[in-house]
Amino acid sequence: MQDLEKILENKNVKPTAMRLLVLQLLRNKNAAVSLTDLEDHFIKSDRTTIYRTLKTFVKNEIAHKIVDGTGITKYALCEENCHCEIETDLHVHFHCKICNETICFPKNKIPYIKLPDGYEADNVSLTVTGICDKCNT
């Protein structure tokens, strides 16, 4: 619990109770979580507080936002030394249509995409949908 505070302070985020709890949950879970997931888990806390906590985490590069095609925004902790740089830090995500979990594939970096002249990229999202190993056969 101690180093959780360090993580937040290193990113200039004050370690409030709510933030520590959300951070802890994100770290213990190996799947991406949605705002509703957190709301259901921390039933005593208000949805808005969790919403703003996540927003703060994304802004301060503690967590990253994931678009998995479900229409529901998911969040996962950034890797160590992540700066959310498009060339180096972004990775593939996988969404299982059976168990409905979305997980990070940090080993699978997103390949470079050559865009036509004039186009400028500042973010890339690559999501694979299908069946995960646990749900397969």
Partner DNA sequence: CACATAAATGCACTTCCGTTGCACTATAAA
Partner DNA sequence: TTTATAGTGCAACGGAAGTGCATTTATGTG
Cα dist. 58→6, 14, 50, 82, 136 in Å? 17, 14, 12, 12, 32
For strand 33-34 and strand 74-77, is the pairing parallel, antiparallel, or unpaired?
A: antiparallel
Q: With contacts defined by CB under 8 A, name the span among 16-24, 41-49, 52-60, 114-122 that binds its own copies.
A: 114-122
Q: Which does 59 bind (CB under 5 to 8 A by kind): DNA, its own copies, Zn ion, none?
A: none
Site for Zn ion in 65-124 (CB under 5 A): 96, 98-99
Phi, psi of 76 (to 5 degrees): -145, 155
Q: To 5 degrees, how large is the angle CA 99–CA 41–CA 132?
A: 15
Which residue type is seen at 32?
A
Q: With contacts defined by CB under 8 A, name the span among 24-32, 33-41, 46-54, 123-131 that binds its own copies.
A: 123-131
**96 marked as binding residue:** yes
**99 marked as binding residue:** yes
Q: Give the Cα separation of 72 and 80 in Å (integer).
A: 25
The length of the chain, given as a count of residues? 137
3 binds its own copies (CB under 8 A): no
Give the closest residue to 22 by CA, choosing from 3, 2, 39: 39
Kindly state the number of chain residues that form the binding site for DNA, as judged by CB under 7 A: 22
x/- map, 18-57, its own copies, by CB under 8 A: ----------------------------------------
Q: Which residues are at the interface with DNA (CB under 7 A)?
A: 13-14, 16-19, 34-36, 44-49, 51-53, 55, 71-73
Q: Which residues are annotated as a binding site?
A: 96, 99, 132, 135
**Which residues contribute to the site for Zn ion (CB under 5 A)?**
96, 98-99, 132, 135
